[in-house]
Amino acid sequence: MDFSIKTADKKNSLDMIDTDCIVIGIYDDHKLTDAAIALDTNGVITRALESGDISGKAGSALLVGFPEKIAAKRLLLLGLGKKPTAEKDFRQAIDTAIKTVKPLNVGDMLLALPLDLVSSRDVSWSIYNILAELHTQFYRSDALKSTQEPPATLRKVSFYIPSEQEATATEALRRAEAVMAGMTLARNLGNLPANICTPSYLAKQARDLSQTYKFELEILDKKQIESLKMGSFLSVAKGSDEPPKFIVLKHMHGNSKDLPVVLVGKGITFDSGGISLKPGAGMDEMKFDMCGAAAVLGTFKAIGELGLRQNIIGIIPACENLPSGHANKPGDIVTSMSGQTIEILNTDAEGRLILCDALTYAEKFNPAVVIDIATLTGACIVALGHINSGLFTRHDEAHDKLADDLIAAARQFNDPVWRLPIEDAYQEQLKSNFADMANIGGKPAGSITAACFLERFTRKYTWAHLDIAGTAWKSGSAKGATGRPVPLLCAYLFMREQ
């Protein structure tokens, strides 16, 4: 889908723009937006209001076909609720507009809405949310079906913007398009079956990105991983015939003295649970256990599209977790890259076993911050459901700032997180009689003890952990990857450029 900005001036007066549909706003007190006033020269909008066919309530809509004295073929009158429009009402209105236009023979659409009149928000926020809703409604996951639906009719969307907002809107559109491209990649990877999306396939995707955007790339194979003494990571990988890959992407476009942001994504391309086998029902969804890795790759696609002037490194430990004669057994003890030993009480707590070595590896970059992204615990779904991702950091000045920045970024792009505690008292649950720590801490506070486990490998830098087990994909009739938290990660990186 192509996007563009049209500047509101005498050369682009609304009544002269030839398009399949112009979307204009109506407030719930029957007051017209400036664009609606400009197109009401023959009274078509006023008569629609007087007839009661549209109320102006948020999400209400009325389609007017072939209006007189207007070049556009259709007008879509869209209820915006009260002025200024509440965030929820704006998103509901956009949802309605897209659902109304989608089944019609509309090839191009012009949005002439007051994007700067959303309560406590600006034009950039409005443009992002419009593109996000378009992405949600037009995303397709039927690439592997033998028969596919015809492509969508809508191919072009334009924003009608006052001239004084043109520069801001143009940059907002550029960034929003990049985020959507990153989300699309993350969703596509997440939705692929595990017989296609293997560790080697993830490595190939990283290679494709590096070639397209000139990223530096390292892909370490099993022997190289062994030479780094990543015993914890390798213990998970050894149960599968698929070779593990340790992927490192580098976008070093910042000042040479600037410390990098490091993103670490969990890349378990299929998680059977290993010897601690998961129940069969729903196990197909464990192809989504690499959504942390997909989020890192998706974020790097957005970074590449935008050419951010920052130093950013992505690390992806990728393997499968399968039962075999070589697989980890409950009670096994392994030695991590850090030298700390781990008693594996449950082989289904494998994500932390691959992440701990990746987090130790991150030390070599002397990072400004490290953020790991992982579908780590079912306990996080119990705690937060499918709305908020879990956010974990230590509790000190540097980590509080990182948490606050991530929460602000989440709000900017509607990719919510909720901060949960990490306290020394929870570390007691990870005690082992035979090793430095156990890999699980029992049922109580399961997402917190998982984060506490990771925290033991991050004490040389500022770190945050995002548990996306409840937000990386949806189940049921809407089954599929969501692309989260690509928006959050991008918003955080954008904030660092300000």
pLDDT in tens, 338-357: 999 999 999 999 999 999 99
pLDDT score, position 8: 86
Give strand pairing partners of 320.
270
Q: Are 302 and 340 contained in the same domain? A: yes
pTM above 0.95, yes or no: yes
Domain membership of residue 51 as a residue range: 2-161
The answer to the question of residue 174 being in a domain is no
pLDDT score, position 41: 81
Q: Are 290 and 420 contained in the same domain? A: yes
Q: Are 256 and 139 contained in the same domain? A: no
Q: Are 227 and 334 contained in the same domain? A: yes
CATH code of the domain in which 249 resides: 3.40.630.10
For residues 216 and 206, give the distance between their C-alpha atoms in angstroms, rounded to a whole number. 10
Q: Are 208 and 307 contained in the same domain? A: yes
For residues 324 and 345, give the distance between their C-alpha atoms in angstroms, rounded to a whole number. 17
Q: Are 402 and 283 contained in the same domain? A: yes
Q: Are 335 and 402 contained in the same domain? A: yes
**Across the 498 residues of the chain, what is the mean pLDDT of every consecutive 10-residue run?**
90 90 93 93 87 90 91 96 95 97 96 95 97 96 92 95 95 98 98 98 98 98 98 98 98 96 98 97 97 98 98 98 98 98 98 98 98 98 98 97 98 97 96 98 97 98 98 97 98 93
The last residue of a domain, from among 161, 190, 216: 161
pLDDT score, position 231: 98
For the chain, the domain total comes to: 2
The answer to the question of residue 109 being in a domain is yes
Give the Cβ contact number of residue 276 at 10 Å.
20
69 is catalytic: no
Give the pLDDT confidence of 228-282 residue by residue, as tens digits: 999 999 999 999 999 999 999 999 999 999 999 999 999 999 999 999 999 999 9
31 is catalytic: no
392-422 residues labelled b (16+ CB within 10 A) or e (exposed): bbbeeeebeebbebbbebbebbebbbebbeb
- How far from 165 is each of 58, 74, 170, 171, 334, CA to CA, in Å? 25, 26, 9, 10, 58
CATH code of the domain in which 42 resides: 3.40.220.10
Q: Are 27 and 139 contained in the same domain? A: yes
pLDDT score, position 68: 86
The answer to the question of residue 167 being in a domain is no
Q: Are 289 and 425 contained in the same domain? A: yes
The answer to the question of residue 171 being in a domain is no
For residues 147 and 140, give the distance between their C-alpha atoms in angstroms, rounded to a whole number. 13
Asked whether the beta carbons of 201 and 294 are under 8 A apart, the reply is: no
Asked whether the beta carbons of 77 and 62 are under 8 A apart, the reply is: yes
pLDDT score, position 112: 97
The last residue of a domain, from among 131, 161, 191: 161
Asked whether the beta carbons of 329 and 381 are under 8 A apart, the reply is: no
Q: Are 240 and 304 contained in the same domain? A: yes
- Residue 58 has phi, psi (to 5 degrees) of -55, 125
Q: Which of 82, 156, 238, 278 does the annotation list as catalytic?
A: 278
Q: Which of 352, 394, 456, 484 does the annotation list as catalytic?
A: 352
The last residue of a domain, from among 109, 129, 161: 161
pLDDT score, position 30: 84
Cis peptide before 84 (omega within 30 of 0): yes
Q: Are 64 and 201 contained in the same domain? A: no
Q: Are 48 and 85 contained in the same domain? A: yes
For residues 27 and 81, give the distance between their C-alpha atoms in angstroms, rounded to a whole number. 5
